[in-house]
Structure 1
């Protein structure tokens, strides 16, 4: 009998990529989505939910092998009061209702995996493993509330794993897409000071992390889900331009980033101007084998 994996809020870039990966590995995959129910060409079944209340979708959790929760409003927006409230509530509500579904299941899943964020470390150039101190600011507060809600509920039969996910590189979406667009327009220069770190990883390595966490009972607690070789923004943009066959591009000074973020990109400028230098200490200690560790080779493959 094929194992069933539930991807809550899995209709975005990370979720659909993991769904495709798991189907190839022989799993039945169900994505919980706010959109209508359907079945995709590769057999992934989409089931409607609202991310906040129990409903018929909860029967899919009962008897499943694992649940992975991706739910949360994108932080790629301007931080108005309303957006900030939705960023927090969408994360906390989904954590609580997924826990409720597991608690009422006669046959609960063996693993519950939560997608979190490296943003909990704040804006820092110091190397951060899982034991590094937290930063400050809105994004840090969101992550702290998110993680507290996730670990506030424990289960007798369900392992809990939380991945603090870095800057995921993949094709046809994700974090790389807007940077590629800028580079094509000749605007792929250093952003701000260029000294802010980008903790990057390839989508294939992230999918492998999720897969191992689903199957390997050693996985428990918090992990930095990022590659072993973070780089500065200056280095990243240079390597991206080279991979795309682009020459020098003018830097984007901080005031221009602020202006462009608010007026053109309609997003928060801090997303581009801050960074963190994170390493996957626990994954490396447990023997995780990265396929992609060289940024230049990775970008050449992707773009």
Structure 2
């Protein structure tokens, strides 16, 4: 069987981490990118625009799997233009990848979509895959995204959607800005501190993607997060402890709003909202987590 994995929009933090992991496990990796075509670290980067069919579709033919990471970052101000682009980039990529797979003589056995736990909104209630959805813009984006992914049938291709939590990795990603805050003794509680962070180690996330590729029993929607979510207050306290930093002043909600808009250029809801999610379906399926203790996971990532 062809061992080529196509990572659409895979040039971001999660995509690059998965690409390296897949190479280590004997797969060939192709990344579809809006940038120029090139080869780096034995990974082929193939140009596409994320919306229209083109020469890139040849990479899909006979591939082992397609994993879609495409989508404008939500780490921005939610202006009308940005909202439209956040939605369009996600829906367009799902549609055109579905078109490409339907056009294959030998379609990939599995199509995996990287989704988001944001579909549950801002809640402290425990959220398994069956929990009710929340409200707000981020929830609407996720609902449209998932609907687009599952609406059209792919007769020969299994579909898996991973609602990814707060993935912790080295040198980038969601953890980096929090590390920078703690480094300058600004890593205190954010807002009330009661909002939950559903975290997972990047190693466990990569194993989830591998399971989705190789295990034909996995199909449908899965919460891709760790089994031990914590509050923001607990997360920041643990981070400071691992970094050998003492007490840091909290950032009250009004200051989070001001800082988000004026300094970070992003929507404050990203810092002030949270969700208490569990990977129930993966646990029921027997998935084994390598990292369930936050302090141990942070030590692994921050201390070489």
Shorter-chain-normalised TM-score: which range? over 0.9
Deviation at 1:179, TM superposition (A): 0.4
Which residue number corresponds to residue 7 of structure 1?
7
Deviation at 1:193, TM superposition (A): 0.2
Aligned with 2:55: secondary structure? coil
Is residue 230 of structure 1 aligned with residue 232 of structure 2?
A: no
Aligned with 1:149: secondary structure? helix
Deviation at 1:300, TM superposition (A): 1.3
- Counterparts of 1:167-206 in structure 2, within 5 Å, are 167-206=166-205
Deviation at 1:148, TM superposition (A): 0.2
Which residue number corresponds to residue 68 of structure 1?
67
Which residue number corresponds to residue 32 of structure 1?
32
Deviation at 1:2, TM superposition (A): 5.0
CA deviations 1:183-237 (Å, max 9, x no partner) are 1111100000000000000000000000010010001000000000000000000
> 1:68, 1:114 within 8 Å by CA — same for their partners in 2?
yes
Distance 1:185 1:266 in 2: 20
Distance 1:234 1:65 in 2: 42
Aligned with 2:159: secondary structure? strand
TM-score computed with the length of structure 2 as normaliser: 0.99
Gaps of 5+ in 2: none
- Counterparts of 1:135-284 in structure 2, within 5 Å, are 135-284=134-283
State the superposition RMSD in angstroms. Answer: 0.6
CA deviations 1:241-295 (Å, max 9, x no partner) are 0011100000000000000011111111000000000000000000000000000
Deviation at 1:154, TM superposition (A): 1.4
Distance 1:60 1:110 in 2: 14
TM-score computed with the length of structure 1 as normaliser: 0.99
Is residue 83 of structure 1 aligned with residue 82 of structure 2?
A: yes
CA deviations 1:160-184 (Å, max 9, x no partner) are 0000000000001110000011111
Distance 1:270 1:91 in 2: 20
Which residue number corresponds to residue 19 of structure 1?
19
Q: State the number of aligned residues.
A: 302
Distance 1:264 1:243 in 2: 27
Distance 1:167 1:50 in 2: 27
Which residue number corresponds to residue 125 of structure 1?
124
Which residue number corresponds to residue 101 of structure 2?
102
CA deviations 1:74-128 (Å, max 9, x no partner) are 0000101100000000000000000000000000000000000000000000000
Distance 2:18 2:183 in 1: 28
Distance 1:85 1:182 in 2: 31
> 2:48, 2:56 within 8 Å by CA — same for their partners in 1?
yes
Deviation at 1:153, TM superposition (A): 1.1
> 2:242, 2:295 within 8 Å by CA — same for their partners in 1?
yes
Gaps of 5+ in 1: none
> 1:2, 1:26 within 8 Å by CA — same for their partners in 2?
no
Deviation at 1:156, TM superposition (A): 1.1
Aligned with 1:57: secondary structure? helix
Deviation at 1:301, TM superposition (A): 1.5
